[in-house]
């Protein structure tokens, strides 16, 4: 029995892959570059809208290709301005992304997997377990959907992308690279490399590859300065212990003046002592870096509690006195389970099944909708 070949989702394709695709259809290579420019224009959903392409070519595209998009999603707004998006995938699974508006930027926190296999003890996404990697299109469509939403709601353009949502980005390496290519291509979504950050829990071999193949920023979730504590918090440390991780960071290829960002979640009585701060300062002395301190967010495990603002400030003081640039990240979106470590794919309103703004309207009724971004 003859079965029709599946159509190619063009949002899975980088510019190079689009060029090869149109050539396979008997078209000149420049048509691939034209396609890339059309696909990522706001509001483009049909080949019939691509007015500078010949009608015959548009008809061929309609038979052999598709342009995917997230038509079904829900939006929930935090009191502090963060906005969580729950996206329904074609197989019925859910992912979440978080928009973090600030005075001069709109940062989108992206997911790369459904769930996560890394099993970090203080993270709800890890407690979900791992279902599958996202496709390139599913990564890219988070940005397209949120970009269109911000434009429709007069929130200003997206300016920054951070791969800090659901999943370990470097465990979905090929699709991550393709998504970065689309994000940074001028005909694609046209983001600067310096406005994209990839966060990892410490997959050392893939970190090296990322540095060799891209110029994006790197953030490393460290959370402890010795193997005993880090292995307790993060099982990945049993595969790539601290010495190997730090050596990978020390030799990481990056542009001059770029520094690795180390993420350090402070857990009361576990990794927040003066000794921990001193150990961390010694550990990072040969790595050009910045340090981001954050208090643990409620994630369902009572064993992990925030040490409180006074201890966090003291920890920061010790590191600063050793010459480090140290920030304290203010948690955003905790009231809608959108803060770091809280994404768990539970954002869909199963009762109504409505999409594209159901929760956003409810937030507005409750007086919780954030002010427009300047």
Question: Annotated catalytic sites, by residue?
Answer: 96, 340
| Residue indicated by tokens 């790595």 | 287
Q: Which residues of 85-107 are buried (b: 16+ CB within 10 A; e: fewer)?
A: bbbbbeeeebbbbbbbbeeeebb
- Cα separation, 265 vs 299, in Å, equals 13
DSSP 91-145: TS-EEEEEEEE-SS-EEEEPP-EEE-SS--TT-HHHHH-EEEEPPHHHHHHHHHH
Angle at 329 (CA atoms; ends 169, 88), nearest 5 degrees: 40
- Nearest by Cα to 125 from 113, 137, 135, 134: 113
| Residue indicated by tokens 């937030």 | 363
CA-to-CA separations, 142 to 137, 149, 280, 372, in angstroms, rounded: 9, 11, 35, 20
- Cα separation, 148 vs 12, in Å, equals 19
- Cα separation, 282 vs 245, in Å, equals 15
Angle at 331 (CA atoms; ends 197, 133), nearest 5 degrees: 45
- Cα separation, 192 vs 195, in Å, equals 5
Partner residues linked to 133 by β-bridges: 113
- Cα separation, 221 vs 232, in Å, equals 14
- Nearest by Cα to 287 from 261, 251, 250: 250
- Contact between 143 and 108 (Cβ < 8 Å): yes
């Amino acid at each position: 029995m003859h079965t029709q070949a599946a159509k190619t989702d063009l949002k899975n394709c980088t510019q190079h892959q689009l060029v090869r695709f149109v050539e396979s259809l008997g078209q000149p290579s420049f048509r691939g570059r034209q396609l890339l420019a059309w696909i990522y224009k706001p509001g483009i959903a049909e080949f019939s809208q691509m007015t500078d392409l010949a009608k015959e070519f548009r008809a061929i595209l309609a038979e052999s290709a598709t342009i995917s998009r997230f038509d079904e999603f829900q939006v929930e707004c935090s009191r502090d301005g963060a906005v969580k998006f729950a996206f329904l995938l074609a197989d019925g699974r859910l992912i979440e992304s978080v928009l973090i508006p600030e005075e001069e930027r709109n940062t989108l926190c992206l997911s790369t997997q459904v769930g996560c296999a890394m099993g970090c003890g203080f993270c709800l996404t890890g407690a979900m377990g791992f279902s599958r990697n996202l496709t390139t299109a599913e990564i890219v469509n988070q940005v397209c959907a949120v970009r269109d939403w911000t434009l429709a709601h007069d929130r200003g353009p997206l300016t920054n992308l951070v791969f800090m949502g659901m999943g370990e980005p470097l465990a979905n390496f090929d699709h991550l690279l393709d998504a970065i290519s689309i994000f940074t291509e001028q005909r694609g979504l046209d983001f600067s490399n310096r406005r994209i950050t990839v966060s990892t829990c410490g997959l050392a071999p893939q970190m090296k590859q990322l540095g060799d193949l891209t110029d994006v920023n790197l953030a490393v979730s460290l959370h402890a300065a010795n193997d005993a504590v880090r292995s307790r918090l993060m099982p990945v440390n049993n595969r790539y212990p601290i010495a190997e991780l730090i050596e990978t960071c020390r030799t990481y290829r990056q542009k001059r003046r770029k520094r690795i960002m180390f993420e350090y979640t402070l857990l009361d009585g576990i990794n927040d002592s003066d000794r921990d701060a001193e150990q961390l300062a010694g550990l990072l002395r040969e790595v050009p870096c910045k340090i981001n301190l954050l208090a643990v967010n409620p994630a369902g495990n009572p064993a992990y509690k925030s040490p409180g603002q006074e201890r966090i400030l003291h920890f920061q003081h010790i590191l600063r006195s050793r010459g480090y640039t140290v920030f304290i990240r203010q948690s955003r979106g905790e009231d809608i389970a959108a803060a770091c470590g809280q994404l768990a794919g539970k954002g869909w309103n199963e009762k109504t099944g409505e999409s594209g703004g159901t929760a956003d309207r409810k937030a507005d009724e409750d007086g919780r909708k954030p002010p427009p971004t300047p």
